[in-house]
Amino acid sequence: MSLLDFARGTALQWSLYIFVVGIIWRILGAALVMRRKDMSQARISGAERVKEGAMTILTRSVPPETFEKRIRFSHITGYLWHIGYFVVVLFFIPHILFIKSFLGFEWPGLPNPMILVIGAITLATLVALLVRRMTHPVLKLISTADDYISWLVAALPLITGYMVVARVGLHYETLLGLHVLSFCLLLIWFPFGKLMHVFFIFPSRYNVGAIFARRGVRV
């Protein structure tokens, strides 16, 4: 069996299983954990609380004015690489066909040169963010191994993807195998590290908003 066959066969299957087990485990675990009963007097109705929770998802997605200046860099770079990443993942045609082999449907993609440019911007942003994390005194202090591993695991598919396109050193199919393996690694690490924020970020924003709203506070 060649590396590519292994990567997109056995490795892909097992990492998918681990991913699914991990995701469901963590979501259920978080959802079913006991919550302390809120003894405070509810200031607004339940329906309004839902609205406020939903609003918080939006308001937390833009930086508050007070901090705007100080966090502009992380703010812009954060959006930049997330969007770039999604475009590359979802609109590169071989990727679409990859997803189609799982979901069974497809959508139009973008020409390769565009993907290459967007991917380059994304990768550059990621590198800039890593450099900042490693040099900024406060960020450095609060960064854990999880942050670095999650960075690496997210960046590897981009890096290997570029290697496939640019054909650096090895045979195309070997590089493609490595690229798929890097995706497998992402799947495996996903539920257990900070990448899990993809699932938790909006529910937790909602929660914060709804809890504060009940107490009459708007965030």
Binds other proteins by CB under 8 A, chosen from 93, 149, 185, 208: 93
Instruction: Extract the tokens encoding 137.
Output: 């005194």
Q: Which is nearer to other proteins, 84 or 191 (CB)?
A: 191
Among 50, 173, 199, 202, binds other proteins (CB under 8 A): 173
Residues 3, 4, 80, 126: which binds other proteins (CB under 8 A)? 4
Full DSSP string of 144-156: -HHHHHHHHHHHH
- How many other C-beta atoms lie within 10 A of the C-beta of residue 54? 14
Which listed range, 3-11, 47-55, 75-83, 148-156, lies at the site for other proteins (CB under 8 A)? 3-11
Q: Are 200 and 153 in contact (CB under 8 A)?
A: no
In the bound state with other proteins, the residue whose beta carbon lies nearer, of 95 and 136, is: 95
CB distance 189 to 18 below 8 Å: no
Q: How far is the CB of 137 from other proteins (least distance, A)?
A: 36
Exactly one of 50, 94, 124, 202 binds other proteins (CB under 8 A); that residue is 94
Place of tokens 């189609």: 100
Nearer to other proteins, 37 or 69 (CB): 37
| Residue burial 144-181, b: 16+ Cβ < 10 Å; e: rest | eeeeebbbebbbbbbbbbbbbbeeeeeeeebbbbbbbb
In the complex, minimum distance from the CB of residue 129 to other proteins, in angstroms, rounded to a whole number: 28
Structural element, H or E, at residue 57: helix 46-59
Confirm or reject binding of residue 180 to other proteins (CB under 8 A): yes
Binding flag, residue 109, other proteins (CB under 8 A): yes
Cβ-Cβ contacts under 8 Å for 109 (sequence gap 6 or more): 91, 92, 93, 95, 96
Name the segment binding other proteins (CB under 8 A); options: 63-71, 122-130, 139-147, 169-177. 169-177
Binding site for other proteins (CB under 8 A): 2, 4-5, 8-9, 12-13, 16-18, 20-29, 31-34, 93-95, 97-98, 100-102, 109-113, 171-173, 176, 180
